[in-house]
Structure 1
Amino acid sequence: MSGYGFSLAGQALVALPSGALHWPAQGLLCVSDLHFGKSDRLARRGGALLPPYETRATLARLDADLEATAARQVICLGDSFDDLDAADRLEDSDALWLTRLMAGRDWTWIAGNHDPGPLALGGSLRAEVRLQTLTFRHIADLGTTGEVSGHYHPKARLAGQARPCFLLDDTRLILPAYGAYTGGLRSDDAVLTTLMGPKALAVLTGRRALALPMPR
């Protein structure tokens, strides 16, 4: 899968080219900021009219990652749906697809700032999850070591092209947005340079996961 392997808080992890995080020893796949239903939310609120295919594109990528990793556990790090109504407005075929992916897996929704969690879809809803030495939450907290979070949709430029990326240092990992219609925050933004240590890496997504010094 051309992922980038690394260690955080003593745990061996893999940043996948898709933007998902794999923890092989736990059989766990972690994704962040799926933002299902974004095109629907924009249409409802008078925003840009986008082709309503982002949920299916995101589900297809998630399906492929689950198949490739054989993950038994899934953690979605928040903002899985673009607003409070999006979970209830899923197309029936998309809801069935998501239900199939959840079946037989330990599935956890972390509450985000866009959505409190899709209560009707099953799985467990948590503010954060701690597994061994790692803490999974939506928004990074400077006081935590071994933290895995999302929220900021980090991006970095390579050869003039902005690509979603993981940000990694000695204490934390920030995941890119996994959803198909998500913007991003440049890695040199003051919010991210404050959170990440001076030797942080940006692990770019794409055909393969590519690590480089975090652009500042």
Structure 2
Amino acid sequence: MNGHDFTFADTTLTALGSGALYWRAQELICVSDLHLGKSERRARLGDATLPPYETQDTLSRIEADLHRSGAKTVICLGDSFDDAAAVDAMPEQTKIWITQLQAGRRWIWIEGNHDPGPINLGGTHLAEFKIDNLAFRHIADPHQKNEISGHYHPKVTLATKGRSITRRAFLIDACRVILPAFGTYTGGLRSSHAALQSLMRPDALAVMTGPTPRPVPMPR
């Protein structure tokens, strides 16, 4: 697996280059902020249109991670859909694809701010989920520890060899892990933003996604 191993709450986890989090001991893959159906939603609301291929691309990358890892549990950390109507507008073949990905696996949909409440696509729908000593939720709670969340779409920018590189990134400290957005058409919030600065400890690391995930001090 193309990833960076790290220890969090006495647990070994892997930040994958794709933006997914892998927990080998639990045979678990966690992804956040898929925002499936974003192009359809923008077209429906009369916004500037996007090429309607993001759902296929996002699901293809999830499928690839599942095949490589052999994961038996999938946690989607909220904002899996750009809104509730995007689920209804989804082509039948896409719904079948999601059902096929769920087959033989425990699939957990965590509610997000874009997709609150249950959706009719199988799996289990929860506000948050706890396993062993880790809590999975959509938005980080500054008063909690040992939590894994998403929502903020973190990204980092580094200057190297006279140019800057910006990539989606995991943010990691002793209290929490914030996942990057996994969806193809998702923007990002720089790690220097006040919202992320206030959540992450001074010694936090960022693990940049891409072909060779690598940890760097969280840019501030």
TM-score range relative to shorter protein? over 0.9
Pick aligned residue for 2:169 from 139, 145, 165:
165
Q: TM-score, normalised by structure 2?
A: 0.96
- Cα distance per residue 1:149-208 (max 9 Å; x no partner): 000000001341321100000110000000000001000001001000001011000112
1:115 aligned partner: 115
1:188 aligned partner: 192
- Shift of the alpha carbon at 1:117? 4.6
Equivalent residue of 1:121, what SS? Answer: coil
1:130 aligned partner: 130
- Shift of the alpha carbon at 1:210? 1.4
2:214 aligned partner: 210
For residues 167 and 91 of structure 2, the distance between their equivalents in structure 1, rounded to whole angstroms, comes to 29
Pair 67,186 (structure 1): closer, same or farther in 2 beyond 3 Å? same
Pair 97,117 (structure 1): closer, same or farther in 2 beyond 3 Å? farther
Q: How many residues align?
A: 216
- Shift of the alpha carbon at 1:144? 1.1
For residues 31 and 9 of structure 2, the distance between their equivalents in structure 1, rounded to whole angstroms, comes to 19
Q: Is the 8 A contact 1:34 1:58 kept in 2?
A: yes
Give the letter aligned to residue 137 of structure 2. R
For residues 102 and 209 of structure 1, the distance between their equivalents in structure 2, rounded to whole angstroms, comes to 27
For residues 66 and 88 of structure 1, the distance between their equivalents in structure 2, rounded to whole angstroms, comes to 25
2:40 aligned partner: 40
2:97 aligned partner: 97
Equivalent residue of 2:84, what SS? Answer: coil
State whether structure 2 residue 204 is matched by structure 1 residue 200.
yes
Q: Is the 8 A contact 1:87 1:118 kept in 2?
A: no
For residues 202 and 137 of structure 1, the distance between their equivalents in structure 2, rounded to whole angstroms, comes to 19
For residues 212 and 18 of structure 1, the distance between their equivalents in structure 2, rounded to whole angstroms, comes to 17
For residues 180 and 162 of structure 1, the distance between their equivalents in structure 2, rounded to whole angstroms, comes to 15
Give the letter aligned to residue 43 of structure 1. A
Where does the alignment leave 5 or more consecutive residues of structure 2 unmatched? none
Equivalent residue of 2:29, what SS? Answer: strand
1:67 aligned partner: 67
For residues 186 and 117 of structure 2, the distance between their equivalents in structure 1, rounded to whole angstroms, comes to 18
State whether structure 2 residue 170 is matched by structure 1 residue 177.
no
- Shift of the alpha carbon at 1:118? 5.0
Task: Please list every run of at least 4 consecutive aligned residues from structure 1 whose deviation after the TM superposition is greater than 3 angstroms.
Answer: none
Q: Is the 8 A contact 1:80 1:117 kept in 2?
A: no
- Cα distance per residue 1:17-43 (max 9 Å; x no partner): 000000000010000000000000011
Percent identity of the aligned residues? 57
1:79 aligned partner: 79
- Shift of the alpha carbon at 1:67? 0.4
Q: How does 1:21-60 map to 2 (within 5 A)?
A: 21-60=21-60
